[in-house]
Amino acid sequence: MAQHVANTTTIISSETVTTTTRTSKGNQMPSASSISHYLDVVVVLAQKDFKVRYRNSVLGFLWSLLNPLAYMVILTLVFSFLLRVSIPNFAPWVLIGLLVWRFFSIGTAQGLGSIVANPSLVSKVYVPRHIIVLSNNIANFLGATLEFIVLFPLLAILGVNITGYALFLAPVLVLEFLLVFGLSLSLSSLNLKYRDFYQLWDIALQLGFFLSPIVYDANLIPERFRFVYSLNPVTSLIQSTRSIFLLHQPPPTFDIGVIVSSVVILLLIGFLIFGRLEKRFAEEL
């Protein structure tokens, strides 16, 4: 952890520190002339976070693919052969669900710890603190994008035709990124104030895995609960991605509406909570 923080601080040059510290006086917001400066900081921090994830790993990024592939094989064996689940193309069906879920679960879990993991950027250097969370989420977005790029040849190997509807994947991933960012703003600030929040979110993710249609069809949900169930934005993200690849259709309008509404609500709540707790970040660290 100490080495991670030291690397983060070293990356930002003394000129950057001077500029950001000057901006912080009087808790003023960054001026228009410093926008490009903060973009540079976001890029540097995102690159650092992305590299750290695969540092000292023999297989590096391949672990990001082996994990969902191993789950796909295990779940396919269990549900297709032992439990006789009758879902067509079950292997690619479950693989898509796993990749969407990984993007969400890893992004929020790592976003939750992003402020705690960078105490020097909070207490010794001034940058808008949400940039720390944003950079962490961008690094996760890059990793998820690479996983979905590799998904294309994997689906072809599994016998799924790739059509022009695959272009809808880009906006769906952007919406998921915004959803993760909104949640990460709330989680990272709450985790700083209540350090056991990490364990609570870990339990929530375990519950969320089974509340999302990753290994079962959403039609199995009883009719009287189905509308409430459909309001889960992760459910909509999974079904939208499956619609693109397996049904060769655009994402359902209802699902996109759920996702967009959730993004707006979570971003508003995230910035509200983050803004209220941000003033005490240095003290909490």
Q: Are the beta carbons of 152 and 158 closer than 8 angstroms? A: no
pTM, two decimal places? 0.83
The answer to the question of residue 28 being in a domain is: no
Domain around 39: 2-19+33-284
The answer to the question of residue 26 being in a domain is: no
- Other beta carbons within 10 Å of 281: 21
The answer to the question of residue 58 being in a domain is: yes
DSSP assignment of 162-192 equals P-GGGGGHHHHHHHHHHHHHHHHHHHHHHHH
The answer to the question of residue 24 being in a domain is: no
Lowest mean pLDDT among 47-56, 146-155, 247-256: 47-56
Q: Percent of the chain at pLDDT above 90?
A: 49
The answer to the question of residue 182 being in a domain is: yes
Number of domains present in the structure of the chain: 1
Long-range residue pairs from 155-163, CB within 8 A, at least 24 positions apart, any chain? 155/92, 155/95, 155/245, 158/89, 158/91, 158/92, 158/95, 159/89, 159/92, 160/89, 160/92, 160/245, 160/246, 161/248, 162/245, 163/248
The answer to the question of residue 98 being in a domain is: yes
The answer to the question of residue 253 being in a domain is: yes
Residues whose CB falls within 8 Å of the CB of residue 77, separated by 6 or more in sequence, listed in order: none
The answer to the question of residue 122 being in a domain is: yes
Rounded to the nearest integer, the mean pLDDT of the chain is 82
